[in-house]
Structure 1
Amino acid sequence: MQRHRRTLSTTVVEETVAAAATLVSKWHPDDHHSSLFLHGHASEADHFLRAAADLHRAMLFFASDPTNAHNGHALVQANHLLDTAMRRLQLELRLLLSLSAPPAASLDRLRALADTMMAAGYGKECISTFKERHRAALRRQHTAMQVQLSKLTWEQVDDNIQSWLAAARIAFTSVFPAEKELCDTVFAGDASVGDAVFEDVANNQAANLLAVAEAAVARARRAPERLFRVLDVHDALTEVLPEILWVFGERSEVAKRACSALFKAGEAARGALANLEAAIEKEPSKATVAGGAVHPLTRYVMNYLVFLADYEGALDRINQQGSPESSLTSRASMSIGRLVQVLMRKIEAKGESYREAALRHLFMANNTHYVARKVAMIPSLGVGDDDGEEYCRRRHVEAYVRAAWGKVLKAIAAADGVEVEEAVMESVAKQEKWVAADEEMGQVLRAAATAAVVPKYRMFYRRHGATLRLTPGDVNAMIAALFGGIATDSSN
């Protein structure tokens, strides 16, 4: 009775193998003209997967009694058919993985295909094919250019960092999460396998991206002029870090490397700001400019700070990273405000180098005006236009007028016509090469000088006009022509 049941089972298994052989022959791996899984053969694809599973079970059945000579022959046949079926599935796996964005149906096929290969003992081939295809795709689509960037000079990195920033954001927030989801889906039968496959596929590419960030930060060398690129990198790493921690895992090497790069970017940024402050302090105080103009240091620093204000969020995070125990130190506006104060102290020191008092006050008026204009462009400092202008007028414009036109006013008070005219001509001649920070500042200077001099000269002219060559209109026109102004009609 037992022998009959065994014979019946053998017959059933042999018929199953025969049916599988027909399907395997139809979809032989050497035939690449059509895809079992992509070209509308859904029902037959399911049959093929079941046939492959049947062949694996047949092998186990025939192997259970190795003493039976018939079983040995059948085992060899089933093994050969299973190997052929697995090579076909490996081909189908390559075709499915060649899709840039597999639809949901293809994901289901991928998972079923992988489950079948893994269950049949062909997991190594399945995993190897998956890794090979996706490593190449990631390298080709997202990191070919960035890998080379890590070998470039700073100037070349600077020229290309924007491309890297875009690539890094896409890779860490979209590409790698999608890859992780794909691995989890395809190898859902064994989570540890999915994790291992993802790491092997993605880790090297992620490391290549992070290498560019590391290179950019390292080559910045805390130089102030390179700070903005460091802040760009810091912003990008801050943005993608949560995704990195979630996708790769908090204890992964990728996460550790990203955290380290972020920390070093913060250190480099703080170092660049400290070096900028030191550079301002070291600027020679006696290095002045002709005509009391805005000093190049003032222009550089204030334009730098206005640009820096766009990164206040990053600066807040970086300052807090460096001093987490105090929320006050995390305010970017305090860092910017401190640099403004350091600059103003240096400008005041430079002003003292001018021997001519009027030129010294003009220099201070111009530079303070320029600083006020730029400070007003940084809302977080809380200083409006009126505040800066009032400071400029009260402390420097009035002092300039007193120093530049004091001799004229003194001569008018002494009622000496000849001395008055000589003083006017001398004062105008001295100021002809002096400059204003901008047209607005020029108007302020001309208006202040006109208000201080012309009314008094007009009164003096009424009493002593017969002895004077210069009319009030002449004096008014001469003042109006200073600092790039246009002379007015002298008949007024």
Structure 2
Amino acid sequence: MALVAVGGGGGSSSRSVTAVLEESVADVGALVENWRVDEDGGDEPFSIFLDGGREEAGRFLYAAVELHGAMTLVASDVEDVQRRGKCLVRAQEVLEGAMRRLELELELLLAAVRSNAVDGAIVSGHDVDDAGVVGYIRMVAEAMMAAGYGMECVSTFKSLRRAEFAGAVRGLLGYAPSQHARFHKLTWDDVDGKVKSWHTAAGYAFNVAFTGERILCHSVFAADAAVADKVFEGIASDHAADLLAVAEAAVARARRAPERLFHVLDVHATLAEILPAIVSALGDKSEATARATAALRNAGEAARGILVNFEEAIQKAPSKTATTGGAVHPLTSYVMNYLVLLADYDDTLALLYQQGRGTLMITSGSGSNASPDSPSSSSNLIGRLLSVLMRKLDAMAGRYRSLALRSLFMANNTHYVGKKVSGSNKLEGIVGDDWTEAQTAETRRHVDAFVHAAWRDVLVVGGDGADAAVREAVATQRTWVAADDEMADALKNFRKDNE
């Protein structure tokens, strides 16, 4: 249908604008009635676009917009006031019915456009291509805005998309982050359990879903980029805040416990990965960007604090707790297992080092020649921790009265350190060949010292007295320990070579 143009002068016309409005009301009313929803909640409602066809949908949209236009003309007409008033009341009722139908249409169309939580693809449950469904949504939005129902359109769209987005995030997390808005009050175990799934969810949300949601908003509200941005912000901002709250809580609850370092490093790595996507999707001035930047900084500070605390814990370990029989000390195995895990975070450590401007190297007197300006933070850090460990082992060895047992302790522990390094390609690559060769030479030196100290009397006595010296040496060494079969063989072979 089309409005008949109003003629000029004095408000006269070939047909009165009220008559045109009445005709428009009748047409739209018939269309609304034809697509009336079963209010008894029986059958699922049909979509005008997806079930009625594009031509039928076009008629409905055009008629609704024309009705609004006719109402605007009638409202400005100074003639036939009584008839005009009754017609406008009826027209408003019909227009509201049409808009309610279009709100339902938004719901039906958006239900056919789902954000797939696996790969972020837009998928449709109807035999219509994805771009076609989005195009239909845009047509509905433009019609509602042209008819003066822009606020209702935006509200419906945001409400539905927020719910859809929340469902996708909840499916990935295994819980709704909004249920734990006060994450800072959770225990570490609670936070730790929830942050494990957060890495995948945050990566998907910020790298895929938010970008896709922004594209959808700008496709639907293509006529006004400012409106599209506002709609997207309304959909994404709370979800972004909820997701970032999980990371903030994980960092805040980590404190300085060494065993929590790797959780903090994981959070730091994920935040560093998603920050560019947050800036791209939500803007560099957005609250989400500010919070993500602060969370990344706090994660770096927390990680550096834990590492400093870990170094101090090695330094402060009691030196008098040397092991029985010169065995590998628990501190040695703990530190080396820790460093093997830490080596896997080489890239994150490099970023931490850059972020902290060298603050990982904050104590002095290490004997390590790494400087704060060196390019490799992990080699600086791990080399330093190895140096601190070796000094502590030297101090522990000094508690043994027997020179032989002291040397055995150092041989066992330096051998264990070197074996852990050579058993990790990552760790071996970080410390370098020079360190590995020097460590091997150090172990040989301690083996040499042990054999000479332990069997010195046997080698000196010789003859018949040698048997007694051997028995005495064996009795003395009965409780002494070799780190492993390899070390035991090395000790035996070294002794044989020197007999």
TM-score under structure 1 length normalisation: 0.86
| The one of 12, 26, 38 aligned to 1:18 | 26
What SS does the corresponding residue of 1:195 show, helix, strand or coil?
A: helix
Equivalent pair of 1:317/1:330 in contact (CA under 8 Å): no
1:345 aligns with 2:391: yes
| The one of 54, 59, 62 aligned to 1:50 | 62
| The one of 395, 399, 404 aligned to 1:358 | 404
Q: Which residue of 1 aligns with 2:305?
A: 271
Aligned pair in 2 of structure 1 residues 248, 324: CA closer, same or farther (>3 Å)?
Answer: farther
| The one of 42, 47, 50 aligned to 1:38 | 50
Q: Which residue of 2 aligns with 1:288?
A: 322
Q: Which residue of 1 aligns with 2:476?
A: 430
For 2:210 and 2:241, the matched residues in 1 are separated by 12
Q: Deviations over 1:98-147 (max 9, x none)?
A: 23235211111111111111121111211111122122222233144444
1:390 aligns with 2:459: no
1:246 aligns with 2:272: no
The CA deviation at 1:74 is 2.5
Equivalent pair of 2:161/2:235 in contact (CA under 8 Å): yes
The answer to which of 134-143 and 189-198 deviates more is 134-143
For 2:268 and 2:98, the matched residues in 1 are separated by 51
Q: Which residue of 2 aligns with 1:74?
A: 87
The CA deviation at 1:13 is 4.9
Q: Which residue of 1 aligns with 2:148?
A: 121
Q: Which residue of 2 aligns with 1:59?
A: 71
Q: What is the one-letter code of the residue matched to 1:130?
A: F
Aligned pair in 2 of structure 1 residues 227, 393: CA closer, same or farther (>3 Å)?
Answer: closer
Equivalent pair of 1:188/1:194 in contact (CA under 8 Å): yes
Equivalent pair of 1:291/1:433 in contact (CA under 8 Å): yes
Match runs of 1:121-200 below 5 Å: 121-143=148-170, 144-148=175-179, 150=183, 152-200=186-234
Q: What is the one-letter code of the residue matched to 1:135?
A: R
For 1:95 and 1:66, the matched residues in 2 are separated by 41
The answer to which of 434-443 and 31-40 deviates more is 31-40
Q: What is the one-letter code of the residue matched to 1:347?
A: L
The answer to which of 55-64 and 195-204 deviates more is 195-204
Q: What is the one-letter code of the residue matched to 2:71?
A: M
Q: What is the one-letter code of the residue matched to 2:380?
A: M
Equivalent pair of 1:55/1:79 in contact (CA under 8 Å): no
Equivalent pair of 2:332/2:417 in contact (CA under 8 Å): yes
Structure with bigger gyration radius? 1
For 2:357 and 2:375, the matched residues in 1 are separated by 7
The CA deviation at 1:420 is 0.9
For 1:29 and 1:243, the matched residues in 2 are separated by 42
Equivalent pair of 2:169/2:201 in contact (CA under 8 Å): yes
For 1:13 and 1:129, the matched residues in 2 are separated by 28
| The one of 217, 221, 230 aligned to 2:251 | 217
For 1:389 and 1:448, the matched residues in 2 are separated by 18
The answer to which of 109-118 and 1-10 deviates more is 1-10
The CA deviation at 1:64 is 1.5
Q: Structure 1, unaligned stretches of length 5 or more?
A: 454-492
For 1:6 and 1:324, the matched residues in 2 are separated by 84
1:204 aligns with 2:238: yes
The CA deviation at 1:389 is 5.9
| The one of 431, 445, 455 aligned to 1:381 | 431
Match runs of 1:306-455 below 5 Å: 306-323=340-357, 327-328=373-374, 331-376=377-422, 377=424, 378=427, 379-383=429-433, 387=437, 390-412=440-462, 415=463, 417=464, 419-453=465-499
TM-score under structure 2 length normalisation: 0.85
Equivalent pair of 2:20/2:70 in contact (CA under 8 Å): no
Q: Which residue of 2 aligns with 1:472?
A: none
1:107 aligns with 2:134: yes
Q: What is the one-letter code of the residue matched to 1:46?
A: G
The CA deviation at 1:7 is 1.9
For 2:448 and 2:72, the matched residues in 1 are separated by 103
The CA deviation at 1:81 is 1.4
For 2:52 and 2:75, the matched residues in 1 are separated by 36
What SS does the corresponding residue of 1:7 show, helix, strand or coil?
A: coil
Q: What is the one-letter code of the residue matched to 2:401?
A: R
Aligned residues: 449
For 1:233 and 1:214, the matched residues in 2 are separated by 9
The answer to which of 126-135 and 64-73 deviates more is 64-73
Percentage of identical aligned residues: 49
Equivalent pair of 1:285/1:346 in contact (CA under 8 Å): yes
Q: Deviations over 1:317-374 (max 9, x none)?
A: 0111110796526521111111000000000110111111111100000100111112
Q: What is the one-letter code of the residue matched to 2:384?
A: R
Q: CA RMSD in A?
A: 2.1
For 1:370 and 1:20, the matched residues in 2 are separated by 85
The CA deviation at 1:451 is 1.9
Q: What is the one-letter code of the residue matched to 2:302?
A: A
The structure richer in helix per residue is 1
What SS does the corresponding residue of 2:272 show, helix, strand or coil?
A: helix
Q: Deviations over 1:16-63 (max 9, x none)?
A: 443223212211255653111222522111111111111111111211
The CA deviation at 1:10 is 5.4
Of the two structures, which has the highest relative contact order with CA contacts closer than 8 Å and spacing of 6 or more?
Answer: 2
Q: What is the one-letter code of the residue matched to 2:290?
A: K
Q: What is the one-letter code of the residue matched to 1:407?
A: D
Equivalent pair of 1:237/1:262 in contact (CA under 8 Å): yes
